[in-house]
Structure 1
Amino acid sequence: MSLTSNLAGLAAVLIVDDHAPLREAIRVHIESSFSGLSIIEAPDRAAALKCVEAHRPSLVLVDIKLPDASGLDLTREIMKRWPTTFVAAISLDASADLPARARAAGAVDFISKDQVFKALVPLVGAAVSLANWSTGWKSDSMITAQ
């Protein structure tokens, strides 16, 4: 089962990771499941903050280890400045305490990079639906199982 939706002009997802091939793979995976969803990419904290300011994404996927900052610090900053934005932390780090630390920073979820493709579609679907619901968007094209 895959979740699909026509979200043209209604929502955006920001992928923050310094590894360009992974950003590309995540973008392609999301685009294959959601039509019309704007996908934005940033390699570091500075670019991510500019993207959040300019695009106000529904969901930000943040790598825990960025070249210019901790992804946890970036998550805290996003939540402080844009508290209605959903942030999910992603990492190769398998430390047992990392999911709790990510949630304490304000992330709605923590996803291990080895599970990211399995978890992305439900996460993106839920975040976009909740963001659209909270802003009053209503449509018959809500996310549906296909």
Structure 2
Amino acid sequence: MRRKHGPRRHLPDSIRFEAFGRVMAVLATKAEFIEACRDLTWWRGADHSWHIEWRDGPYASEVAALLDATAAGPCGDTHAVLDVMGVRFELRAVDPMGRVRARARPGFWRLAGALDTTRRTNTRHPWEELLGG
């Protein structure tokens, strides 16, 4: 019997987890991505791929561009398929707003602004609230 989609690649689990770690490390350094997303989740697929999903935040194609990985399928606003170290990643954005709209959203809490001690305001800084100062 022939397979429709060709033979599956048998990669060791160590490669799959290393690829996952590299992807998550890149995303963790992108404060704008982390701050704009809600409900960031991930799970391992039945075919040993990784699925990463979030609400709000950037489009899937924008996250794919952040990762600078090889496209392994279509990349659009809500879904992108990537290949990282031979491991398939499926990115899914639920109700995305894109990076431009996320930046312009009123009330969007930014870590950089919250930690800016040079900015004078009539109200207490967020870090003062957190530290009780």
* Superposition TM-score, scaled by structure 1 size: 0.29
Query: Which is helix-richer, 1 or 2?
Result: 1
Higher relative CO (Cα under 8 Å, sequence separation at least 6) belongs to 1
Instruction: Answer with 1 or 2: which has the greater Rg.
Output: 2
TM-score, normalized by length of structure 2? 0.31
